[in-house]
Amino acid sequence: MTAHPFDLSGKVAVVTGANTGIGQGIAVALAEAGADIALVTRSDATETASLIEKAGSRSCVIKADLSSTDPCERIVEETVSSLGRLDILVNNAGIIRRNDATDFTEDDWDAVMNTNLKVLFFLCQAAGKHMISSGGGSIINIASMLTFQGGIRVASYTASKSGVGGLTKLLANEWASKNVTVNAIAPGYIATNNTAALQSDEARNRQILERIPAGRWGAPSDLGGAAVFLASDAARYVQGHILAVDGGWLAR
């Protein structure tokens, strides 16, 4: 146990898709709790790295295209090489494709399933092997409201995020006895670049806000506390849980 159960000092976290939005919010929250962060992204992560430095933590940037499993083992190796260890993995990177189910293409199915589920699993595998051999760690997968609900016109996204929920439980079953916690966060409607179109659609935005008991869109920072909790000693007996951070969306 650390001096404070939420203290992440001395730990190192990998956060995928950390350049903006939810990934950035989680990376900064983990850094503010004391962790050093390996930022995995295809894009420029200068802003996130600057926020982490401001929080008093170290970071490194690992450029990787997570549309295939090729970078998974390299991500673990570069994290350990640059920051000395790996204690926390946050699988945030994901994509979405939209079309009617009658018109959904195989390419759009495969692209989303590969990034959101296949690569997520094999990055869990690579990190999990390291964590098991080094004494333990924490894995946090980013699920979705569509882990619980069906959605519309996002067949592969719904399938992938349902799969994330199942894999989270499967890995918890296998690794809980090896001192590795595996849980997920299911964000509600969060104001990011990915949801800009929904926010700017007056009718759809109103419908969404009417459904959320909190009466507002979430901010990426709203997910930070959940991530710190699941990454910390405070959650050492939490396994296979999918924590909704949704302003009450699922409760309505």
Q: Where in the sequence numbering do the catalytic residues fall?
A: 157
Q: How far apart are the first and last CA of the chain?
A: 38
List all residues 6 or more positions away from 55 whose beta carbon is below 8 Å from its beta carbon: 28, 31, 32
Query: Strand, helix or coil at 143?
Result: coil
- Backbone phi, psi, residue 189, to 5°: -80, 105
Distances (CA, A) of 30 to 4, 58, 197, 226, 229: 14, 11, 29, 10, 10
- How far, in Å, CA of 207 to CA of 227, rounded? 28
Q: Which residue has the tokens 């990376």?
A: 27
Q: Please, are residues 155 and 109 in contact by the beta-carbon 8 Å criterion? A: yes
